[in-house]
C-alpha cells in the first residue's frame, strides 16, 4: 500500500496541474470502488474551481468552494494528469475532466481506493480522531512517551496507531525503529522518554528523506509522472530478511506483528 511519502509525492506531482483549474465534468466508468462514489461528489464537483490540494495522513483532499474531494489510493491506485485523448485502460475507473484539456485519471486494479466528499466546514468520519502529522511540530518523543504509558503492546503497533500519529506505515515504522535501535516487539510502555525522542526524530528524518527521494518503489505504485520511487534501494530493514545488516552484518530477521511482516536486526535493535 502506498505510504505517506508516496501520497505526498503524488500530491506534489499533481498540485501544479490542478491548482486553479476547473473540473468540467466527471467520467465514471466504475462507480464501485472501496465505497460507491457518493452522489454529493458526482453532483457537486463538476463546475468547481480547485483551490488547493492537501494531504492528511494517507488521504488527498482536493479543496473547492463547496467542499473537498477525499481521495485514497488504496492498495494499488494511482492518480495521473493526462491529455484527455489518452486511451482508457481496463482499470481506469474515474476521470476528472479539467478546463485545461487534460484529465485527472484514477486507476486502481484492485478497487480498494476511494473518492469521497467532505462538505465545507465538516470533517469526514474517516479523518475524525486522527493523530498529528509525523512531520509537524505536534509530533515528538514526548507525545509518544505519554501515549505509551501503561501499554504492553509492541512499540511498532503504537507507532502504526493512526490515533497516535498518522501515516507511519509498515515500511517506515520498520525503518525508523531500526534507525533508533529499538526492537519492534519491545513493549511500548517499557521504553524511556529519551529513546522515544530519538525514535520521533528518526521518523521525521526518514519520512522527509523518502519524500525527497520520491517514496518507496512498491509493486503497484507509480508516481504521477509514471516513474517509480527511489527509496527502496536504501532500506535498512524492510524486506531484507536473511540479508546482512548494513551496519553489523547480522542477518535481518522477520516476524509478524499485527498481521504485518516486521523486519529487524537482532543485534542492532534492543
Of 56, 58, 105, 147, which is the active-site residue? 58
What interhelical angle do 141-148 and 193-212 show, nearest 10? 130
Longest Cα separation, the chain: 59
258: cell is 499485527
Of 3, 8, 175, 202, which is the active-site residue? 3
Of 12, 34, 213, 260, which is the active-site residue? 260
Residue-level length of the chain = 270
Q: Is 204 a catalytic residue?
A: no
Distance of alpha carbon 50 from alpha carbon 119, whole angstroms: 14
Burial zone of 18 (CB within 10 Å; 0-12 exposed, 13-18 middle, 19+ buried): buried
| 55 known ligand binder | no
Helix (H, G, I), strand (E, B) or coil at 231: coil
Q: DSSP letter string over 155-206?
A: HHHHHT-TTTSSS--HHHHHHHHHHHT--TTSBGGGS-HHHHHHHHHHHHHH
DSSP letter at 102? E
Q: Is 260 a catalytic residue?
A: yes
| 63 known ligand binder | no
Binding residues for DNA: 91, 110, 151
Binding residues: 91, 110, 151
Q: Which residues are catalytic?
A: 2-3, 58, 260
Amino acid at each position: 500500500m502506498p505510504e505517506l511519502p508516496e501520497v505526498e509525492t503524488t500530491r506534489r506531482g499533481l498540485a501544479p496541474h490542478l491548482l486553479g483549474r476547473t473540473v468540467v465534468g466527471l467520467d465514471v466508468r466504475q462507480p464501485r470502488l472501496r465505497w460507491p462514489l457518493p452522489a454529493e461528489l458526482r453532483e457537486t464537483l463538476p463546475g468547481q474551481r480547485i483551490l488547493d490540494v492537501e494531504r492528511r495522513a494517507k488521504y488527498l483532499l482536493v479543496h473547492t468552494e463547496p467542499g473537498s474531494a477525499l481521495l485514497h489510493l488504496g492498495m494499488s491506485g494511482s492518480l495521473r494528469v493526462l491529455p484527455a485523448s489518452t486511451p482508457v485502460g481496463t482499470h481506469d475507473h474515474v476521470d476528472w475532466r479539467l478546463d485545461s484539456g487534460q484529465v485527472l485519471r484514477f486507476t486502481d486494479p484492485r478497487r480498494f481506493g476511494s473518492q469521497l466528499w467532505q462538505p465545507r466546514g465538516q470533517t469526514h468520519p474517516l479523518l475524525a480522531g486522527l493523530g498529528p502529522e509525523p512531520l509537524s511540530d505536534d509530533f515528538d518523543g514526548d507525545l509518544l512517551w505519554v501515549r505509551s504509558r501503561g501499554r504492553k503492546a509492541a512499540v511498532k503497533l503504537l507507532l502504526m496507531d493512526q490515533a497516535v500519529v498518522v501515516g507511519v506505515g509498515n515500511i517506515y515504522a520498520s525503518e525508523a525503529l531500526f534507525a533508533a535501535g529499538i526492537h519492534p516487539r519491545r513493549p511500548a510502555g517499557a521504553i524511556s522518554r529519551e529513546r522515544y525522542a530519538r525514535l520521533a526524530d528518526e521518523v521525521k528524518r526518514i519520512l522527509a528523506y523518502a519524500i525527497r527521494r520520491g517514496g518507496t518503489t512498491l509493486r503497484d505504485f507509480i508516481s504521477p509522472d509514471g516513474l517509480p520511487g527511489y527509496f527502496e534501494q536504501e532500506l535498512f530493514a524492510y524486506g531484507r530478511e536473511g540479508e546482512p545488516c548494513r551496519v553489523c552484518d547480522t542477518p535481518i530477521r522477520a516476524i509478524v506483528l499485527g498481521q504485518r511482516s516486521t523486519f529487524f536486526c537482532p543485534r542492532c535493535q534492543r
